[in-house]
Structure formats: C-alpha cells, structure tokens
C-alpha cells in the first residue's frame, strides 16, 4: 500500500516513513461499476485515492442535466476538500468501472498533518495545483467555442501512442454524450465535430480508442 500511496500526486515526494503514517489511518473499499461513491451535497469527511478503476466527477442541475467535470483513474484522488472544511460535497462521483479505493478519514488525516508539518506543506502545494487546473477549465468554458473545448479536452486526456510515434491516443474512448457533458455542449454537436475531424484526417476511431494522428486545427 505504501508504494501505491507514493504514486498519488497528493503525496508526491514524501518519505517512506511519512507514507507509512498515512497508511496506518487508511482503509480499502471496493465499489462495483456505476456506483455513486459520493453525492453532491452529502456531509462526508473522507479522501478517496483510486487504487484501481475509473470514476467520473459530475454535477446535476435542478432539471436533471448532468455536467461532467472530470474523469479520473488509478493514481488519482478526489474528495480532498472534505479533509479541510465542514461543507457538503461540491460534486458527485460515480464509478464507470469496478474500482478500489484507499479511504482516509478527516480525523485520521488531521492527526497526521498535526504531527508532520512537511506533509502539510506538500498537501497545500498539491491542492494549489488542483485549483489552478479547475480555474483553467472554467476559463475554457467561458472563452473557447465548442470546437475549441472539444479539441482541448481530447488533448488533455490523450497519451502518447506506444505503437505509432508522433500520435496521441484517448483510451478508453469516451462517448459523444460524455464528451458533451465535459465541454458543456450537446451530444449532436460533439458528433458533428468528431465526424468533421475524422473526414479531415485529424483523428480516427477504432475499437475502444480515439487516435489523434496530426495536430488539431486551432479553429473550425
């Protein structure tokens, strides 16, 4: 478990003995696919580290419209704000595949921070980076057109293709509906943009992945 904690960005750079202290207050929980892990508005006080699996972080409007803020997988974490304040959950999280989590309660984490100032400083630094990323997402929604948001989202979740140098891969392939929720657009609009990108030779879709084979245009 200590080795897995070392791969979590929130705990990057911590010494082995510091990771062991955090591990002592943690519990492991498993959830099947399509299970709500936390509800927006809930009063809960735990940080979840994803040991395996994948989740989506989303908001739901009063009319039932869902907006996906982010998708996360092994090595990432969510629920960190609950360790620092007493406010309700700001978003909901659902598993999109069977997942396993390392769960750290607020009381256990605060005890660690109180006795290990170096850990506290590193947590503050990592949380600042998370806030900057969220600020960029809000800025993109406000300033970019739909195509720009789709292109930026594809590039942000893509990784280098191991089989073909110079290409990027999005895997697993998000549905057009999920992409629409990520960028604040309709599924139909995303479908139209993806079709144009395929016809233009910028991307191709196969099985469970999207391959970006050349630089996406700045505008459409």
Task: Give me the percent of the chain exceeding a pLDDT of 90.
Answer: 25
DSSP code of residue 44: -
Q: What is the pLDDT of residue 23?
A: 82
| pTM of model > 0.85 | no
Q: What is the pLDDT of residues 111-155, one digit of tens each?
A: 888 888 888 888 788 778 777 777 776 666 555 688 888 998 999
Asked if residue 7 has pLDDT above 80, the reply is no
Q: For residues 73 and 123, what is the distance between their CA atoms, to the nearest angstrom?
A: 20
Q: For residues 96 and 33, what is the distance between their CA atoms, to the nearest angstrom?
A: 5
Q: For residues 49 and 100, what is the distance between their CA atoms, to the nearest angstrom?
A: 9
Is-contact 121 83, C-beta < 8 A? no
Give the mean pLDDT of 174-195: 90
List all residues 6 or more positions away from 4 whose beta carbon is below 8 Å from its beta carbon.
Answer: 49, 51, 102
Q: What is the pLDDT of residue 94?
A: 96
Give the mean pLDDT of 153-167: 84
Is-contact 190 198, C-beta < 8 A? no
**Mean pLDDT of the chain, nearest integer:** 84
CB count in 10 Å sphere of residue 195:
11
CA dihedral 198, 203, 206, 211 (to 10 degrees): -170
Among the ranges given (66-75, 138-147, 196-205), the one the predictor scored with the smallest mean pLDDT: 138-147
Tokens 């089989």, residue?
A: 163
Q: How far apart are the two ends of the chain, measured CA to CA in Å?
A: 47
Integer angstrom CA distances of residue 188 from 118, 181, 195, 208 = 49, 12, 11, 20
Asked if residue 203 has pLDDT above 60, the reply is yes
Could you give the domains of the chain?
A: 2-142 (2.60.120.10), 145-212 (1.10.10.10)
Give the mean pLDDT of 6-35: 83
């Amino acid at each position: 478990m200590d080795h897995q904690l070392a791969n979590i960005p929130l705990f990057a750079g911590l010494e082995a003995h510091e990771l062991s202290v955090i591990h002592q207050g943690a519990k492991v929980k498993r959830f099947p696919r399509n299970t709500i892990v936390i509800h927006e508005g809930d009063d809960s006080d735990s940080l979840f580290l994803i040991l395996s699996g994948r989740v989506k972080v989303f908001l739901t409007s009063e009319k039932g419209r869902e907006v996906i803020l982010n998708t996360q997988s092994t090595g990432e974490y969510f629920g960190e704000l609950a360790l620092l304040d007493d406010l309700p959950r700001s978003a909901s999280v659902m598993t999109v595949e069977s997942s396993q989590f390392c769960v750290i309660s607020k009381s256990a984490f605060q005890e660690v921070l109180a006795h290990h100032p170096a850990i506290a400083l590193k947590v503050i630094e990592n949380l600042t980076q998370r806030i900057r990323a969220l600020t960029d997402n809000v800025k993109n929604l406000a300033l970019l057109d739909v195509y720009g948001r789709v292109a930026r989202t594809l590039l942000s979740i893509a990784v280098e293709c191991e089989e073909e140098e110079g290409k990027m891969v999005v895997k697993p392939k998000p549905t057009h509906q999920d992409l629409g929720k990520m960028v604040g657009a309709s599924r139909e609009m995303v479908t139209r943009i993806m079709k144009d990108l395929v016809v233009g030779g910028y991307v191709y879709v196969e099985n469970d992945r999207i391959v970006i084979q050349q630089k996406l245009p700045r505008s459409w």
